[in-house]
Amino acid sequence: MKFLKIAILLALFPLVTASADHKFYVSITNIEYAPKQESLQIITKIFLDDLEAALETRYGKKLKFNSTKETEAAENLLKEYLFQKFKLKVNGAPVSYTYIGKEYDIDVVKCYLEVTNVKKLSTLEIENKVLHDMFDEQQNIIHVKKNKKRRSLVLEKENPKGLLNFSD
């Protein structure tokens, strides 16, 4: 019986240690064009631990999101970081967006953004450098929906920009 326990532990050891060494660095951003509201509605999902590490490194402050220790200053740093790292051009022209808010889903923060006054969406250029300054392996996946058309991009440190064409 003792031999069986040792054999099981030895068999499981590589599985447990392998998963701890391999971490995925990814964010997912969903953008939907709402023609009636003439807006781009954006939800970007980022792992909390990665975001906290990046903001701490960038701003030199220990931040704790989704806890009783979260401050308004921490959310302001999050907004500032997003405005610096996530940029959009609609139909070739740079646009600004509004930070609407955030919510937590276990170990992920969902940030809600909106671009208003988008009367027509022909092209969308996206630059997403979120967490690229922290993790070389970071991939920022972008999904864009306009009516029934869906387009996707994977943006990496070496290629942080992409252009999607929705011309009819």
**Domain ranges in the chain?**
25-165
Compute the mean pLDDT over every residue in the chain, rounded to the nearest whole number: 87
pLDDT tens figures, 112-134:
999 999 999 999 999 999 999 99
d(CA 136, CA 124): 25
Q: Residue range 20-42: average pLDDT?
A: 88
Lowest mean pLDDT among 13-17, 26-30, 41-45, 143-147: 13-17
Pick 44 or 15 by higher pLDDT: 44
- Answer yes or no: are the C-beta atoms of 29 and 143 closer than 8 Å: yes
Helix H or strand E segment including 82: helix 72-85
Q: What is the pLDDT of residue 160?
A: 97
Largest Cα separation within the chain, whole Å, is 72
Selected residue with higher pLDDT from 87 and 107? 87
The C-alpha atoms of residue 167 and residue 86 are separated, in whole angstroms, by: 23
CA 128 – CA 161 distance, rounded (Å): 7
pTM of the model: 0.83
Q: How does residue 101 score in pLDDT terms, banded at 50, 70 and 90?
A: very high
pLDDT tier at 9 (50, 70, 90 boundaries)? very low
Q: How confident is the model at residue 16 (pLDDT cuts 50, 70, 90)?
A: very low
Res 38 pLDDT > 80:
yes
